[in-house]
Chain A
Amino acid sequence: MALVGRSVPRADGPAKVAGTARYVDDLTRPGALLGATLRSPVARGRLRGIRRDPAFDWAGVTVVTAEDVPVNVVALIEEDQPVLASDEVRHAYEPIALVAAEDPVRLARALRALTPEIEPLPPVLTVADALARKAQIHGPDNVFATYRISKGDAAQAIASSPVRLTGRYRTHHQEQLYIEPQGMLAFWDANGAHLVGSLQCPFYVHKGVKRTFSLDDAHVDVTQAVTGGGFGGKEEYPTLLALHALLLAKKSGRPVKMIYNRQEDVEATTKRHPCEVTIESGCDREGNLSAVSIKVLMDGGAYVTLTPVVLSRAALHAAGAYRWEHVAIEAVAVATNTPPNGAFRGFGAPQTIWAIERHMDRIARELSADPLELREKNLLRVGDTTPTGQFLKESVGVQRCVEEARKASGWDKKRASLGAAAPTRPVSALLRRSAPGGSAPRKARGIGASVFLHGAGFTGSGERRLKGRVAIDMLRGPSGKKPLFRIRTASTEIGQGTETVFRQIAAEALWVSMDRVEFATPSTSVVPDSGPTVASRTVMIVGSIVERAARDLFARTENERQKGGGSFDDAALRLLAGKEPVVSEKTYETPGDVVWDDETYRGDAYPVFAWGCDIAEVEVDLDTFETTVLGFWAVQDVGKAINPLLCKGQIEGGTLQAIGWALNERLVVEEGRILNARMANYIVPTSLDAPRFTTVLVEDPYSMGPGGGAKGIGELPMDGGAPAIAAAIEHATGIVRDDLPLLPEDLFAARRTGT
C-alpha cells in the first residue's frame, strides 16, 4: 500500500473543482463592514495631514489613521515600516489611512472624501542614487544589508588566469500575480483578535498582531482561508493587511473584510527585487573554471521587509552549480523610494542564477565551446565544497539532470542543426496561428540550456533557531472503531500540494489509508508553529517532522499491540481510552553535522541542494522579434518525489513563471509609480504562450528527507527558465542579452544597436 511515490489525487481537489472551497472573499460574518486603504500618491514626502471632506456624510463610516495604531510598526526582520504612515511617506501607495463602511459604494465615496496632504520631498528612485546618497532615506548610507563570501584568493587567481571575462547582468521586477488578490477578514471578541485570510504564514501574521496590539499568544488567532496562490507574495505582506483590517474592526466594533482589487494588489504589495550582478571570472583555454568574483546589487524598495534574507540567498546561489577554487562574493541591498520588494519564489536566487548562467554562456562564446559541455565539465560533485566551504556529502544529482536533459531534448543534434549559424527551414510554432494568406514568415530556431541549484530550507542557522514543530493527534473515528489521525501544522496549502503530500507521508508512516489522516486547517490556536510556508522547506523540513510524529504514534500503538494483543486499531482504541489525549508533537532537529557561522558566512548554507537542468527550444520571428517556446525540457533532481504528478505540476508552473519573467512580464515604474498595474498590461503567459513541457524527475535521495529522501523543490523551477530562454534566443538569432526581460522590443533594440 505504498503511498509515497504515488500520484494520488490531491486531497483538496474535489472542493476546488466543485466551487465549494471557501476563499476569504467567499466568507463573511454578520454585520461585517468592508474596508479600504488611502494611499500616498507620491514616492516621498512629509505627511502634513489628512483632509476630510466636510460635505460628505461620515455617518457609519470608520476612519483610522496612524494615531489609532497602538504600536505603529510592522514586526518583521526590522521594525522600520509603520502600519500607517504618520510622518514621512516613503513610497507611492504607502498606506496613510483606512476606511470602513457598510457597502462598497459608500466605501468608495468615503475613500474619495479623504485627501492626504503631503509636502513632496525629492525621492531616491534608483540604486545608483541610493548609493550616491542623493537623499538619506535609510540609516547613514541607504544600505539595508551587506554580505561577503570568500574562498581562496579570487582576485589573484583571476589575474593569473589565461581567460579572464567580465560581464554585467540585470534583472527586473516581477509581480507574483497570484489570481486571488490579497484579502483578510478580521474581528474582535472576548478572546481577542481573530483573522481569517489569504496567507502563507499564519505565525508571521500572529507575531505582527501581537506586537502592534501588545497582545499575548492566547489572544490572537490567525486562520488560513483556502488561498488562491502565493508564490511568496503572501509571505510577509498579509501581516500589514491583517493589521489594517484589525484596526478598522477595533475602531468600528464590527467585523471588517478587506479585499484588494487587482490594481491595488499590483501597486501596493511586494515584488521580486530588481538586481544587478557583475561577474569577473578566470578559467583556462579548455574551460576549466578557477576563480570568480561577483558583486550583487539589489533594490530593496522603501522598507527592509525580507530584503536581507533575499540578498543572502542571492549571494549563496551566485556562483551557480559549479566548482570554483577561488570565490569572492559581495552582495549589497539598498533602499529606494519605490514600493517595498519582498518574497517571490526563488527569493534572490533567480537573479544571481540568471547572471551566472549568462556568464557561463559568455565563457562558452569566448572559448567557442558547447555551452552544455562547458557546464558539465565544471559541475559540482559529491566531495566538492561550495563557496561557503560546505562539503557536499550526498544527493548531488546535477550530472544526471544534465545527461537526461541532453538526451531528452536532442541537444547535440539541435545545437548543430539549428541556430543563427545554420539557418533552417522555418516551421510555424505548434500553436501560434499562421496568417491566412500564408505569407512566409522569416524565423530562426535555437536551443539553449541552464544548470542550477536551489538550497532547500532556511538559510544557515535558520532551521536551528526556528525549531519548527508538528503535531499529529490520534482521534476516535466516526464509527468509534477505526481511529483517525489529524496532522496539525502551520505549513499551509497554497496550491502546491502540502495537504496531500503530508497526508501521504503520515499515512505511509502510520500504515493506514490516506482517508484516515486529516489535515487541520492552519489556525494559530490549533496548530503548533511549524515555521512559515516558504524557502522550499515544507516537504523537506516540515514533512520530515510529520514523518517523525507519525512514526512515533505508530511505534506507540505497535508497542501497545504487543503488550495487549489484537489489531493495530484495537491497540489504538485502547490508547484512546486513556485519560490523556493521544498526540505526538515533534520538533525539527537540524542534522548535527550541519554547521553554519553567521559572522563569517562559512559552513553549511543549506542542509542540501536540489538541482536542475533546463533546456529551451525557441523560434524567433526575425521580422517582429516575437519568441515562441517550441519545447521545454525541465529535468530536476528532487531527491524523492512523494507525489510525482504534484511534483511535476510544481516544476511546470514554476518554470512558466520563469519564462513569463523572461518573455512577457515587465513592470513599468516611473517616478516610483507603477504604470501597468492591470492584468490587461502586466502580461503573463496564457495557455497559448506556454510551451509543452517535458518534465523529468531525477531522484538522488537526501538521507534526511522524508519519504525516502525528498528535497525541497518549490523554488528550484523558478531559477533556470530565464537563462535557458536567453541562451536559446542567442543561439537562434545571435542576439546576446545580458539583461531581462527579453520582450520583442528588447531584442529589436539589442539587434539594432548591435549590443
Chain B
Amino acid sequence: MRIAFVLNGKKRALDAPPLARLLDLLRGPLGLTGTKEGCGEGECGSCTVLLDGVPVNACLVVAGQCDGRTVLTVEGLGTKDGLSDLQDAFVKEGGAQCGICTPGILMAAHALLTANPQPGEGEIRESIAGNVCRCTGYQRIVESIRHAAKERASRESG
C-alpha cells in the first residue's frame, strides 16, 4: 500500500504493508532509530511519537492508519542549531540516564508543553505516566520539563 504522510515536517511517501507497525516503518525503511521499542504492547511508551500532534505508541499504530497524517519523532524535535530547549533541559537537569525511554518521554513532554506551556507538577507527571522509566525515579525528568517550561516563560516575558 502507498502511504503518504508528513514526517518531521517533510512529505514522505513509501510502499509498505498496511498493517506494518509505524514503529517498524520508522526504524526500518525510514531509518529513524531514535524511536525505541521497549515492550511492543503499548505499555512502556518508549516508542511514543506524535500523530497529528498527539502522543501515540508507534507499536500500536499501523502504516495504513498513517496515510495522510503528520508524524513527529525525536529526530524532528531539534532545531537547525541543534537541540531544542526541551532536549537541552533533559541534558542539564539529569532527565536522561540510560536514555532508552528518553525519546518517548521527550515526545510526550513536547506535546504537553505545546498544549499547556506552564504545567503544574501534577500535569507534568500525568503527561508522562504512559512512559515507563526504570532509571531515574522520574524526579529529574519532572524537573527537566519544569525547567524547560520556566525557561520558555522567562524568554517570552523577557
Which residues of chain A have a CB within 8 Å of any CB of chain B? 7, 9-10, 12-23, 25-26, 176-181, 226-231, 261-262, 430-431, 494-497, 645-646, 648-649, 652-657, 678-680, 684, 686-688, 690, 692-693
Determine the chain A residues whose CB is within 8 A of the CB of B121 once the complex forms. 430-431, 692
- Bound-state CA distance A21–B44 (Å) is 19
Which residues of chain B are near A262, meaning CB under 8 Å? 38-41
- A496 with B132: CB separation less than 8 A: no
Nearest residue, chain A, Cβ from B46: A179
Whether A690 pairs with B139 at a CB distance below 8 angstroms is yes
Q: Which residues of A contact B138 (CB under 8 A)?
A: 652, 656, 686-687, 690
A257-B22 Cα distance, complex, nearest whole Å: 21
Contact with B96, one of A17, A180, A686 (Cβ below 8 angstroms): A17
Listed by A's residue number, 23 A-B pairs whose Cβ atoms lie within 8 Å are A10-B91, A14-B82, A17-B87, A17-B96, A23-B33, A23-B100, A25-B37, A179-B100, A179-B134, A262-B39, A494-B98, A495-B99, A648-B140, A649-B94, A649-B137, A656-B136, A657-B134, A678-B39, A679-B41, A679-B132, A687-B125, A687-B142, A688-B126
Interface pair A692/B134, CB less than 8 Å apart: no
Instruction: Verify A688–B99 contact, CB threshold 8 A.
Output: no
Contacts A180-B38, A690-B137 given: A18-B87 contact, CB under 8 Å?
yes
Q: A18: which of B74, B100, B124, B133 is its contact (CB, 8 Å)?
A: B74
User: Across the interface, which residues of A come within 8 angstroms of B100, CB to CB?
Assistant: 23, 178-180, 228-229
Write out, one digit per residue, whether chain B residues 14-52 have a CB within 8 A of any chain A CB (1) or not (0). Answer: 000000000000010000111111111101101000000
A228 in contact with B137 given A179-B44, A262-B38 (CB within 8 Å) = no
- Shortest distance in angstroms between B32's beta carbon and chain A's nearest beta carbon? 8
B96:A679 contact, CB within 8 angstroms: no
Q: B93: which A residues are within 8 A, CB to CB?
A: 645
- Distance to closest chain A CB from B39 (angstroms): 4
A14, B83: Cα distance in complex, Å: 8
User: Least Cβ distance of A560 to chain B in Å?
Assistant: 37
Instruction: Please tell me if the beta carbons of B94 and A646 are within 8 angstroms of each other in the complex.
Output: yes
Partner of A177, one of B97, B126, B134: B134
A495 in contact with B98 given A19-B34, A180-B36, A231-B134 (CB within 8 Å): yes
User: Is B134 a contact partner of A178 (Cβ separation < 8 A)?
Assistant: yes
B residues less than 8 Å from A654 (CB atoms): 137
Centre residue among A21, A497, A648 by max chain B CB count within 10 A: A21
Having A12-B99, A18-B74, one finds 15 other A-B pairs with CB under 8 Å, namely A9-B91, A13-B91, A17-B95, A25-B37, A179-B98, A262-B41, A649-B140, A652-B140, A653-B136, A653-B137, A678-B41, A678-B43, A688-B129, A690-B139, A693-B137
Do B90 and A17 touch across chains, with their CB atoms under 8 A apart? yes
Q: Does B71 touch A at the CB level, under 8 Å?
A: no
Task: Output the residue of A19, A177, A497, A657 with the most chain B CB within 10 A.
Answer: A19
A551–chain B nearest beta-carbon distance, Å: 28
Kindly provide the distance from the CB of B25 to the nearest chain A CB, expressed in whole angstroms: 14
Contacts known (A19-B74, A678-B39); A497 close to B97, Cβ less than 8 A:
yes
Task: Please measure, in the bound complex, the distance between the C-alpha atom of A180 and the C-alpha atom of B134, giving whole angstroms.
Answer: 10
- Asked, given contacts A19-B103, A430-B122, A649-B94, whether A655 binds B132 with beta carbons under 8 Å apart, the answer is no
With beta carbons under 8 angstroms apart, the residue of A13, A180, A226 that contacts B90 is: A13
B131 / chain A contacts, CB cutoff of 8 Å? 687
**Is B78's beta carbon under 8 Å from chain A?**
yes
Write the chain A residue with the least CB distance to B126.
Answer: A688
Q: Which residue of A lies closest to B130 (CB)?
A: A686
Determine the distance from Cα of A180 to Cα of B100 in the docked complex, in whole angstroms.
6
Select B34's contact among A9, A18, A178, beta carbons within 8 Å. A18
Query: Are B98 and A178 in contact, with the CB atoms below 8 A?
Result: yes
Q: Within the complex, which residue of B27, B43, B103, B136 is in contact with A679, where a contact is CB–CB below 8 Å?
A: B43
Docked Cα-Cα span, A657 to B133, in Å, equals 10
Known contacts A25-B37, A679-B43, A10 near B94 by CB under 8 Å: yes
Interface code B60-78, partner A: CB below 8 Å = 1, 0 otherwise? Answer: 0000000000000111011
Give residues of chain B (77-135) contacting chain A, Cβ–Cβ below 8 Å.
77-78, 82-83, 87-88, 90-103, 106, 121-122, 124-126, 128-135
Q: Which residues of A contact B43 (CB under 8 A)?
A: 678-680
B132 touches A645 (CB 8 A): no
Nearest-Cβ distance from residue B70 to partner chain A, whole angstroms: 18
Question: How far apart are B136's CB and chain A's nearest CB, in angstroms?
Answer: 5
- B58 CB-CB contact with A under 8 Å: no
**A12 vs B124: C-alpha distance when bound (angstroms):** 25
The answer to whether B34 touches A228, judged by C-beta atoms less than 8 angstroms apart, is no
CB of B56 closer than 8 Å to a CB of A:
no
Cβ A692 vs Cβ B139 within 8 A:
yes
Q: How long is the Cα–Cα vector from A430 to B125 in the complex, in angstroms?
A: 11
Distance between Cα atoms of A18 and B102 in the complex (Å): 9
B44 to chain A, nearest CB (A): 5
Closest-by-CB residue of A relative to B140 is: A649
